[in-house]
Amino acid sequence: MATSIARRTGHCLTYAVLGWAVAYGGVRLAWTVGETPEFRQFGSDLLGFTGWWSVALCLTAAALAVALDRMPTWRPVLAGVAWAVTGALVAAAAILLPELVGFLLFTVGPHFEPTAFASRLGCVTGAALLALATAGYQRRTRGDCPDCCRTIRPGHRRVVPARWARWAAYVAVAGLVVRFAAQAAVGLGSLAQDAAVIGLEVCLLLAGVLLPLALVHGWGEVWPGWVPLLAGRPVPRLLLLVPGFGLGVGIVAYFGMGLAQLLSGSVSEFSDAFLWVAMSAYSVLGLGLLAASSDYHLRTRTACAACGR
């Protein structure tokens, strides 16, 4: 029963990816062969994958979705390529991170471009659909539980954070410290000119210290005594997992693409030395958040009703 449901879900996801590729890929094709809208703020709606590269990315995602749906056995290379294309789609829309922070802090400036924002959302939508299709393929072909995708044997659940997760959390905090130390070295005022950037840094200052530490300490699972009205109650998992994974993916994508552009020799108002240190530190923060969030997810999830794991 569960297998048939998983199979039908896989078919639906395949059609969803194909529909997205036709719709979004059609827009990318029209912009490539016709007149591309003028994007003033960043020069383009996507990073790295523009023009024919964006069209190729959509076609590749569609082909992979079909291959994942029709492949009856586990092929690590196929899954790896699918995850790589998913990552490329997220990286291409990495500018969404500061834009979404701007929305949350009500700091969206006059240079906000709805067309570019919609395009980035469309790109991330394709990434999400392909990620779901890839995860479904793994569940179906690796022998994992179709309901929860778990492979850990009964009796092997951890209740304390893994040592590597603690190190990841502390490294994430260290990355943030290095980032702001580099900013202090060049002058705080020189980077505080854009409201979205200020909002991004405020969020990172909070999330880069409290969030990674909460993911690996007990007060991230049970509210501590100094929290009014909530002391002693369980902390909702999604309260930490959503920003943990969301910020982790967004930071790695945004600053990873920044490092790639720096390698290509892009010009900036800041020195190359500062950019290398700052972007590398941000990337370390994002990777640390992803690692600590993964451990928190594995440690705090409830037992699956289907497999008992």
* Positions in the chain short of pLDDT 70: 1-7, 102, 104-111, 144-158, 187-201, 203-204, 265-270, 303-309
Number of separate helices (H) and strands (E) present in the chain: 10, 0
Cα(169)–Cα(151) distance, integer angstroms: 25
Over the stretch 102-139, which tens digit does the pLDDT of each residue have? 676 666 665 678 888 899 999 999 999 999 999 889 88
Alpha-carbon torsion, ordered 161, 165, 167, 171, to 10 deg: -130
Residue 287's region, left for phi above 0, alpha for psi from -120 to 50, else beta, is alpha
CB-CB neighbours of 115 under 10 Å: 11
Kindly list the distances between the CA atom of residue 178 and the CA atoms of 135, 174, 205, 280, in Å, as whole numbers in the listed order. 35, 6, 12, 9
Contact 58, 25 (CB under 8 A): yes
Over the stretch 154-197, which tens digit does the pLDDT of each residue have? 555 667 888 999 999 999 999 989 988 887 777 655 555 555 56
